[in-house]
Structure formats: C-alpha cells, structure tokens
Amino acid sequence: MEFKDIATVSGKPGLYKILKPSRSGVILESLDDKKGKMVVGAAQRVSLLSEISIYTLTEEGATSLKEVLIKIEKEFEGDTGLEGADKDEYQAFMKHILPEFDADRVYASDVKKLISWYHILRKECPEVLEEKPEGDEAKDDESEKDKS
C-alpha cells in the first residue's frame, strides 16, 4: 500500500483504504480492526494522504505529510509519548519534528490528528512509513505502469 491508496474523509475519524470508484462516489475500507466498508459520495470531502501537506515558514510554504510521518517513524519508532498531552506538548512535538512548521496555521488539533494517523498507519500498513531512496519510488511507479 502507498500514501496515494489511503484517504481521510472530512467529518469521519480514522483513515481509509481506497478500494475502487463507483457510480456514486468511491468505495472505502476503514483501516481499523472492523474493516468496515462505505461508499463516499461527491458531497463528502475525501483527501488522499499523498496530497496533504503541513504549513511551514519555508520558501515552499509546506512539507508533505509523508515526509513528516516518515520522520516521526524514524525518530520515535511508535512511541510518541503524547497520550493525554495538552496543546503545548503537541506544539513542542511538532517543533521538534518540523522546526520550520507554521505555528499560526498548524493547530494542536492538527498535530493530534497527525499522531492518530501515524499510529493507525504504523499498526495497519507500516510499509508506508519506511523511507525509500528516491530511485526506488521511480522504480515503484514504473512497475505499477507495467501492471496496467
């Protein structure tokens, strides 16, 4: 599984694996123990993890969610220590992981959601948190095209 195969649905907790498009929307399967399936219509906002980024104060203005999650995995290996944390602890955690993040636009609730997603990914599809050399991603893209 890759980041482009995982989505979040506005107003719904958790992460979802994209199964396939349907006439009325897209069919998703929850990335939890229940593995519940649902059809999400055009009225609901579905965001792919590969398209989500975090605001920064750099020239680019943002860093991809994938980069941040891989950095968290590399440094913490599953133990973030943020269960029951307060707003200041979430902000300090984010400052540690991504020193150039924009504290005015990235709220503690966003960091809490980021940590929640990290734990879901680590449990359900840890392979997406592995850092791949740049060349390997291009090879993966090529092998996907070959399968088509």
Residues 6+ apart with CB under 8 A from 120: 14, 15, 31, 32
Residue 71 lies in domain: 52-132
Cα–Cα distances (Å) from 137 to 2, 64, 105, in that order, read 10, 15, 30
- Cβ(46)–Cβ(71) below 8 Å: no
Q: Taking 70 as the threshold, does the pLDDT of residue 144 lie above it?
A: no
**79 in any annotated domain:** yes
- Cβ(89)–Cβ(82) below 8 Å: yes
**In a shared domain, residues 35 and 102:** no
What average pLDDT does the segment 114-142 reach? 72
How far apart, in whole angstroms, are the C-alpha atoms of residue 60 and residue 71?
18
**144 in any annotated domain:** no
Look up residue 125 and give its two tokens.
């599809």
**143 in any annotated domain:** no
Q: Name the band, by pLDDT with cuts 50, 70 and 90, for residue 55.
A: very high
**In a shared domain, residues 102 and 37:** no
Q: CATH number, domain at 37? A: 2.30.30.730
**66 in any annotated domain:** yes
Q: Cβ atoms within 10 A of the Cβ of 130, count?
A: 10
Share above pLDDT 90 across residues of the chain, in percent, rounded to a whole number = 5
Q: What is the mean pLDDT of the chain?
A: 81
Task: Count up the domains in the chain and report the number.
Answer: 2
Helix (H, G, I), strand (E, B) or coil at 62: strand
**In a shared domain, residues 38 and 62:** no
Q: What is the pLDDT of residues 84-103, one digit of tens each?
A: 777 888 888 889 888 898 88
**65 in any annotated domain:** yes
**147 in any annotated domain:** no
**43 in any annotated domain:** yes
**67 in any annotated domain:** yes
**In a shared domain, residues 61 and 104:** yes
**In a shared domain, residues 127 and 83:** yes
What average pLDDT does the segment 75-90 reach? 78
> Can you give the pLDDT at residue 138?
46
